[in-house]
Structure formats: C-alpha cells, structure tokens
Amino acid sequence: MTPSPSPQQPAERTAGWQSVMLPDAPAPQGAYSPAVRAGDLVFVSGQVPRDPVTGQLAGDDIATQTRQTLRNVERALAAAGATLGDVVSMTVYITDTDDWGTFDAAYREIMRPPFPTRAVVGVSLRGILVEISAVAYVGGRG
C-alpha cells in the first residue's frame, strides 16, 4: 500500500495541473483551490458575492450579487492568465429560481456574445443568493 502524500509532498495527480491562488486574498477556508490551470484549461471554483478587499457581502439583491460574483470570477481567471472572454462554460447556483430574469440581465451587463454554455441551478446557499463556477480555454497561452 502506498502512503498518502504529506501536505509538503504534492500528490502525483498534480503533475499535469497547477493550483492558482488569488493574490492579496485569504486562503480558502475549505479544501479547494480558487482556480486550477490544467494545460489550456482554467477551472474556477465557485465564487461568491464577497468583496475581496473588505470581505463583506455585496448587496442583498440578485443583480448586485451577480455583478460582484462575476467580478470575483474575473479576478480568479486573471490570476490564472485568462479573461471572461475565454470562458467556455459556467455553472450558476441561485437560491430563488424566480430571480432568473434579473440574474440574466445582470449577467448580460458583464458577459458578452458569444456567450459560454451555462447551467443555472436552484439551490440552498448559506446567506448568499448566487455562486458561479467557470471553465475557460486559453488556447496555449502561457
């Protein structure tokens, strides 16, 4: 039986990808990377509507929270060498599916055609209205 790697010794599975941490941001509280770069792909973990500087929740409505969450996605992408224009797929979690139209309007303020694929799922979130994860294709850029 092979022993589990210690925290100082990364697992072999990381040989093909690199964890991306966000500059000037606290480390995640959970066991995840904010973003991962794997070849030409960037995977962004679910981002929430917290201001990265103050840590405060942005607004109490779906439109304000969507804008902040997309800014946080953009920030994670930038740390990995990607942009919102590189995004090929997004998964969106919202607490109230009746907010879909308002969410979509705020999304369209920031995202531009051609739009990436997208799934919007109604879920229970702890104290927030929206969470967004993304996948970007960077086409061999360094």
Residue 134: pLDDT over 80: yes
**Domain map (residue ranges) of the chain:** 32-137
- Crossing angle of helices 62-79 and 100-110, rounded to 10°: 40
Comparing CA positions, the residue from 52, 129, 120 lying closest to residue 89 is 120
Average pLDDT of the residues in 44-48: 95
Q: What is the pLDDT of residue 29?
A: 78
Instruction: Using DSSP bridges, classify how beta strands 41-47 and 130-137 pair: parallel, antiparallel or unpaired.
Output: antiparallel
Q: Are 42 and 81 in contact (CB under 8 A)?
A: yes
Mean pLDDT check: name the lowest of 27-36, 38-47, 79-88, 119-128.
27-36
pLDDT in tens, 87-121: 999 999 999 999 999 999 999 999 999 999 999 99
CATH superfamily of this structure's domain 32-137: RutC-like (3.30.1330.40)
Q: Pull the structure tokens for residue 77.
A: 């992408």
Cα–Cα distance measured from residue 79 to residue 105, given in angstroms and rounded to the nearest whole number: 26
Please, what's the largest Cα pairwise distance for the chain?
53
Q: What is the pLDDT of residue 6?
A: 36
pLDDT in tens, 50-79: 998 888 999 999 999 999 999 999 999 999
Cα–Cα distance measured from residue 113 to residue 133, given in angstroms and rounded to the nearest whole number: 18
The DSSP letter of residue 25 is S
Residue 5: pLDDT over 80: no
Residue 25: pLDDT over 60: yes
Residue 10: pLDDT over 50: no
Judged by DSSP in three states, 21 sits in coil
